[in-house]
Amino acid sequence: MKNSFKLIFMFMLAPICFSVSEYQSKILSDGSYELAYKYNGRVDKSEIVIKKGLFEEYNKAEKIRKGKIRWISQNLFVMDYINSPKIDTTQLSKRLLSAFGETCIEIDSVRNDTLFFKTRHANNLHILINKGILIKRTHNFN
């Protein structure tokens, strides 16, 4: 009886998991995107190439970072960097990270091939770090 209950529960849950995954792949599909956001009073621009949940970030045709996209919810994800700069491991930095959480990206709205996003802290979603846009391109940066 227990096994049949587990099986029924899994069949009920499967469409929900599929629809979230399908929704995410429609929002942030494989391809090349122009990334622009305002940080410390200046606009930073780069190119992001996404393929099967992995990404590479380029700045002036030079690869600067790469990693994996980890979805937290339908419109919220984290970019887990493989080759990120060295992280500050002082006690203050560790406390700040545990209090605010990692930086995540919230898809705010989508218009055609343009995604508007907000960068926030995962543990404090009410705190806005910055805003930006991702524009899907028809050709690759390289």
pLDDT tens digits for 112-139?
889 999 989 887 788 888 899 999 987 6
- Mean pLDDT (the chain) is 76
pLDDT attached to residue 141: 47
Residues 61-70: what's their mean pLDDT? 84
The residue that leads in pLDDT, 10 or 124, is 124
For the cut 80, the answer to whether the pLDDT of residue 108 exceeds it is yes
Alpha helices, DSSP H, located in the chain: 2-27, 91-100
Higher-pLDDT residue of 70, 62: 70
Element (H, E) at 93: helix 91-100
Average pLDDT over residues 4-20: 38
pTM for the whole structure: 0.69
The pLDDT value recorded for residue 129 is: 85
What is each CA distance from 105 to 3, 70, 89, 128, in whole angstroms?
A: 39, 10, 23, 10
Considering the chain, what percentage of its residues have pLDDT values greater than 90? Answer: 29
Section 27-36 average pLDDT: 89
What are 95's two structure tokens? 């406390």
2-136 to CATH, choices 1.10.287, 1.10.3470, 2.30.30, 2.40.128 = 2.40.128
